[in-house]
Every structure is written in C-alpha cells, then in structure tokens.
Chains A and B, each alone.
Chain A
C-alpha cells in the first residue's frame, strides 16, 4: 500500500515537471544549443570578413621576397615597390593598411632584420604565417645557392605533412583507431553534462522541498505518507525527469548523426566518399575550382570522416551506461543533501549558508575533470574519479580515454555505499526539518536533528 503511495507521489512530481513548457523547450533546444556552441565559433572563425586586413610589404632596395608571403583568407599581403617606409609610416592607416612589413635584404643572414609596424598588437597567427613563409623562402634560396639539379621536384617530394594516428589496444587485443580530439570532446561533454544535470536537478529537488514547506503542503501530505516516502518520491520523480531528458537528448543526437551519415556521406564507405566527392564537385564546377582547392577539400573531408569513424569507435555502450549510472547515483547523493537543506530552511535565500560546502565538491569535480583532459592518467584524476563526491564528473571525463574496469567498479561501489548513507542521513534531517518553522537553522542544529529518534 505504501508502495502505491510512493508511486502516486512519483507520478505527480514527474508529470507536473514534464508537462511544463520550460521542460519541453529545454529538452529540444539544449542539443541545438550545444551544437550551436560548437558550430558557431567555427563559422565565425571561417568567415571573419570584418577583420579583413591588408599589410603593405616593403623591401629595402631589393626584391628578394617579392610575393613570397601568400595571402590568407583574412590578410592580403600587398608588395609595394618603390615606396619608402618613412613615407608610408605616417599615413598607412588612411591608405587602408593594417601595418607595414619592412624587410631588409640582410634578412637572409640576420634573422631579425624585419619589422612589422602597426598601431595594434598583431595576432600571433599572423606573425607565425609571416615568419614561416619567409623561413621557407630563405631555406629555398639558400638551397638554390648549392646549385642542386631539379631542386623544385626534390623539394616537392620531400614535403610531407605528419598527422599522428592513435591506436588503442583493448583488453582482447584488438586495436581500435582513436582520436585524442574526439576523446577530449567526449570527456568535456560528459563531465560538463554530468555537472550540469546533477546540479540542475539537485537544485530542483531543493526548490520542490522548499515549495512544499513554505506553502505548508507538507504537513497534509506527511499525515498520509511517511516523510521519507515523500522525500524519496520527489527525488525519484525528478530523477525520472532527468533520465527522460537525457534519453531524448541521446535519441536526438543519434538521429542527427544518422542524418549526417545518410545525407552527407550517403552510407557509402566514407573514405571512398571523401576521395571521390571533391572530384565530382570539380567536374560539376567545370574547372572553376582550382586543383589545389579540391585537394584541400579532399583533405578536409578525409579528416572529417576519420574523426567520424573514430567517434564511432568509442565504447558508446560503456559511456552511456556509465553516464546513466553516475547520473543516478551522483544525483541521488546530491539531491538528498539538497532535500535536507531545503527542509532546514524557510525560504530560498536562507539556503546560501548551506550551499557553499555542497557546491565546492561539485565545482572541484568539474575543475579536475577539465584538467583530466590534459592528463587522464594523473594520480589526481585517478583519486578524484574514485572519491564519491567528485567521481561522477571526473570519471565521465576519464572514460573516453580508457579506464581499467576495476577502477570503474571500485568507484561505482563507493558511490553506491555513499549515496545510501547520505539518503539515510538526509531522511533524518528532512523528517525534523520540514516541520520546523521560523527557527534559524545552522549546521549545529542540523547535527542535532540527525540524532533525534522516532
């Protein structure tokens, strides 16, 4: 019978939240926002027309470096002959230049015989581009001095680009192609999402408890059910809301992935597509596209498909299972503490004094998780992924890099023990707290409630 009542409570907690407009909007919008967070900066980086710059390149009495620096998508390098630096120095801005690059003929022997004159501090990427272009040219010119035959072909032949492919060997000895980039992205998303969900839904539990206490509904309800049942009903109901949201996100993401696979890659062998597509496009555009551009595109697509394949090589089952487990236990741990806090106060502003000690481990977890992405094998990452208060966040950040199963098992076992202990303690505080009005609560007071009987 009492089981039935918990179900009635769970149902109410679940339905009132799921039916809210804000829930529906959040559930649909969040993945789009996430995607937006990744796509928008990329787009901004790609067509940053506003920042288009022109740089005047002036050589002091020679033409050794004429048109050596190639234009980039946001910087044009204009080689000016017969112009003196001093003339341009005063009015280069009016003439539409971001700066003047002054190159001395001595550059070949004196590496610092070059100056970039500008009003603003130039970005590092721009300097890198200039120096690497010039370094290559100087290298070429120096090599020329040795009178090597067919130098151009030789140079073309020796030019290589290195892209390290990472291979992970799993326990059964199979090797799987992986990508550190993908692992980092997953670690970031997993850790951050865990932090957000635990915090968000934990706080919802607290607000729900405070709502019941301040509106005085609570005493009516606990004359029908035990306070622990009310607390657990609320916590479980909200957990189901969280799971619903998470599952919808997983389904939406999986849907988007299959759309990408189906539309862009047309379900063919993806590497094959990557090779043929630029050629097809080139044929369609009938020579309007430069071969170099096509090669670039092919390379880009190759990179994309490689990442895509690597992402598919991740142990998704483990990631999703672990996520659900850590979400549930981590949430139960924190939600029970939040429920106890909610029961101890008369309104939301009073919660602040109790919130700090609770938020510290969560934030710490997030910080360690972010560090984990740099070094997933560090002992700090290890310990924080074992200690229950931070383990949900930190472990989610570690799993994409591969974690021994025994560590996951230990972390999970500790998590279960801790959450049971905390639910038990929270229930004791809650039982007393929800019936206390107008009393300024403190940690000392809560400690007293913990020891009340019956």
Chain B
C-alpha cells in the first residue's frame, strides 16, 4: 500500500495553471523522485503535500486515508528556498523549529544532541547562524527537517549548496533514514543527481505528468534495442539490415558507436556482424540517463 498518494491534482494561480491533473503514488519506505525542469510545477505540488496551499481539484491520501492538517507532524520538509534566522543562535533555533513540529523542549534537546554529534557540528551550538558557512547551515536545516522522525520526508533540491564531501554525507543519511523506515520524496531539476537514489519517479513538465514509474522499468523501456560498442583505435562500421547507427565518437584512441536495432535481435547476431571490424573493448546495452529520457519524452510529445 502506498504511504502517500496525490490523485488528479490541479492548481491554478489566476490564469496560470501550475499543476494539471497530476497524480503520484509513493510506496512506503521508498525514495520517490519528482523530476522536471525549473518551473514545471514541482514546488507547487510539494507545497500542496505540505498543506501550505490547497489544490483547486484533486485529493490527497496518507496511509490510505485523507490527508488532514495534523499530518504536518509526520511530514518533514526541506524546502528549496530555505534559510534560518541569521541573528538567532543555532541551538535555540533548532529547538524552536522542533517545538513548531510539536516536540517538547526536553525531547528536542535530547534528539538534537544525537544529531549534532552525528554530523559533527556540536561546537556550533551556541554560535549565531550568520557565523556559519553555507554548508554548515544546510546541515542544521537537514537536522531540523528530520528531527521529529517524520514518516514522510520531502527534500526539495537537497544537494544544492553542499560540497561533494558533505553532499555524500547527506546522501548516506538519507539512505539511512529510508533503512530506518522513512519514506522520502525527492524533488530536483538536476535529474542525474538522483538516478541512483530513486526507486520511482514522476517526470513533470509544464504542469503535466509526462512519465512515471519505477526507475528500472523506465530505463528498460527507453533503452530497448540500443547498444554501445567500443573499439580500440579509429573504427567505422556500416549500417546493415540489422541496425541503424545513431552516432559515432572517437576520443582517447577509442571509438564509441551507438546503434539501434529495428526489432528484438539477439546480441550475438549483432556481435557477429561487427566482430571482424576491429578490436572490441566493450559491448553494452545503452542506458540513457534520466536527462536523455526527459529530452526524448519532451521531443516525442512535441
């Protein structure tokens, strides 16, 4: 059963349609990617899930029942536009956000101690936020998002502002949270960044869903009948009845050739035709990146 569902959500601002009949279904203890270019409507959908704004049409479900205002207690949200009170002390501020999520002060202090130690920022407890580096502030924000142990955690562009090292720490924490039972929604326009993380995705473009499903399925579907062959040295092959050549690249003394077969043909048959052409380094089914898939979906739709 999905932990969270949004069904046929439509939202308009005046004459502008931000979301047009968008549905998502997030399985429990999974990571769900909400992908799409800037301005596609992702943030609006997230705000609706957080009940910051209401949809014009459509319904929201949590644990199989309708979403209610008190559900904000079990949702954690790291917005894309995030910040902290600059003049307030780090610890005080973390306690404040925890209290707004319904934790008592004592409970908040206990959990904050654990997280501050885990992310190695204990020394910053009494400092004002303005004295912190951007990455440090992001860590504090990450903690305040997950401190009340939400069932559903929403990260909107979580890795912007992190250096690669800290981004990796956060990535591991997110995987750890899922391990412990949390369900996670990821929103990003940088589709490559979450490919390995997401179990399922929805691609939104111009307020409409254009693709959805499990990452594996989508990739398989879009990789069907495409292969990449790498030869040593400069090699050219000719099209024959079995396949078409999509492109050829030559770099670092290697030729990379992308081909597409007309129909399902055993890989052996393809290999047979190119075996004598040159020294093969590798032969793989070509997995398009999410970015490529997105571009192709948009192109085919137009």
Contacts and interface: CB of A to CB of B under 8 A. Distances in A.
Interface of A: 1-2, 4-5, 8-9, 12, 16, 211-212, 215-217, 219-225, 227, 435, 437, 448, 452-454
Nearest to B76: A223
Contact of A223 (B54, B72, B84, B141): B72
Given A217-B85, A219-B82, A223-B79, A454 B72 contact: no
B144 A220 contact: yes
Given A215-B85, A435-B52, A452-B13, A220 B99 contact: no
Interface string B26-53: 0000000000000000000001001011
Nearest to B85: A217
Interface string B49-82: 0101111100000000000011010010111011
Contacts of B50: 223
Nearest to B80: A219
B interface majority secondary structure: loop
Contacts of B96: 8, 12
B88 A16 contact: yes
B82 A454 contact: no
B47 A435 contact: yes
Contacts of A452: 13-14
A223 B14 contact: no
Nearest to B129: A215
Given A435-B47, A452-B13, A454-B53, A224 B101 contact: yes
Contact of A437 (B13, B54, B77, B81): B81
The 9 closest A-B pairs by CB, nearest first: A454-B54, A216-B83, A215-B83, A223-B77, A224-B100, A219-B79, A216-B81, A223-B50, A8-B99
Nearest to A227: B52
Which of A219, A221, A225 has the most C-beta atoms of chain B within 10 angstroms of its own C-beta? A219
B111 to A, nearest CB: 16
Contact of B79 (A5, A8, A220): A220
18 contacts: A4-B102, A5-B102, A16-B87, A216-B81, A216-B82, A217-B82, A219-B79, A220-B77, A220-B78, A221-B100, A222-B52, A223-B50, A223-B72, A223-B75, A435-B52, A435-B53, A437-B81, A452-B14
Contacts of A212: 85
B2 to A, nearest CB: 21
A222 B72 CA distance: 10
Contacts of A448: 14
Nearest to B75: A223
Nearest to B144: A220
Given A211-B85, A223-B79, A453-B56, 16 more contacts: A4-B102, A5-B100, A212-B85, A215-B83, A217-B83, A219-B52, A220-B82, A221-B100, A223-B72, A223-B75, A223-B77, A224-B101, A225-B100, A227-B52, A454-B54, A454-B56
A219 B52 CA distance: 8
Contacts of A4: 102
B162 interface: no
B296 interface: no
A221 B141 CA distance: 12
Contacts of A8: 96, 99-100
B250 interface: no
A435 B52 CA distance: 10
Interface in B207-255: none
B86 A215 contact: yes
Contacts of B125: none
B62 to A, nearest CB: 15
Nearest to B97: A220
A211 B130 CA distance: 13
Contacts of A5: 99-100, 102
Contacts of B79: 216, 219-220, 223
A437 B55 CA distance: 20
Contacts of A225: 100
A220 B54 CA distance: 17
A444 to B, nearest CB: 11
Contacts of A222: 52
